[in-house]
Amino acid sequence: MKEFVIATNNRKKLAEIQRILTPLGIKAVTAADKGIDLGDVEENGATFMENAYIKAKAAYDKCGLPVVADDSGLCVDALDGRPGIYSARYGGHDSPYTVKNQMLLDELSGVPEDKRGAHFTCSVCCILSSSDIIRVEGNCYGRIAFEPSGDGGFGYDPIFLVGSRSIATLSDEEKDSISHRGQALRKLAEELKERREEL
């Protein structure tokens, strides 16, 4: 089975990516699994895709194996798209998501339901070789809840509603079918299927 290095330390994100790549005969591993220390990569891009590429290139340069990296975040209409590319750093990089979620809800205090539109974006960059780079993106549209619900998923999932349910209340299969990362990874899977003989 071909190994792809996933440039993340987030095990839940790794599991999402594994669910999409495994049917293609691709084993998703982290750099740490391969004994490689990626160190701290400065994500100084102006877009999700720029940051995804920065992470993928840093990992590819260190391991020389096919790499998948993503950058994703939550964009809230009433906050002019914030926190956006700063989603992971919102409220402080090391603050837990329970704190980040509550901060976001506090910022939206008094904002009515019809003005709480938001979307998740996920940009994925896959470097197969120095001359073969795949870039795909997915979006999931919904709104911000008035309070967290559910204990599944991670990040902002407990306060992001699609229809009447938060992402954190969905099964893995339900989440994969609608999530921004699921959409982006399915696009990546289609691109990889076209290159199956080259992998």
Q: Give, in words, the CATH class of 2-198.
A: alpha beta
Q: Among 61, 71, 80, 157, which one carries the catalytic annotation?
A: 71
C-beta atoms surrounding 111 within 10 Å: 16
Segment (H or E) for 162: strand 160-162
Dihedral sign computed on CA atoms, order 59, 61, 53, 177: negative
Supply the DSSP symbol for 66.
-
- Count Cβ atoms within 10 A of the Cβ of residue 79 and give its class: 0-12 exposed, 13-18 middle, 19 or more buried: middle
Average pLDDT, the chain: 92
pLDDT in tens, 121-180: 999 999 999 899 999 999 999 999 999 999 988 899 999 999 999 999 999 889 889 999
In the predicted structure, residue 198 carries a pLDDT above the cut 70: no
**What confidence tier does 96 reach under pLDDT thresholds 50, 70, 90?**
very high
Residue closest to 97 by CA, chosen among 180, 157, 171, 142: 157
Q: Locate tokens 């919102």: which residue? A: 90
Annotated catalytic residue 94? no
Q: Locate tokens 């993106």: which residue? A: 137
What pLDDT shows up at residue 199? 61
- pTM flag (> 0.75): yes
Domain boundaries, the chain: 2-198
pLDDT in tens, 100-125: 999 999 999 999 999 999 999 999 99
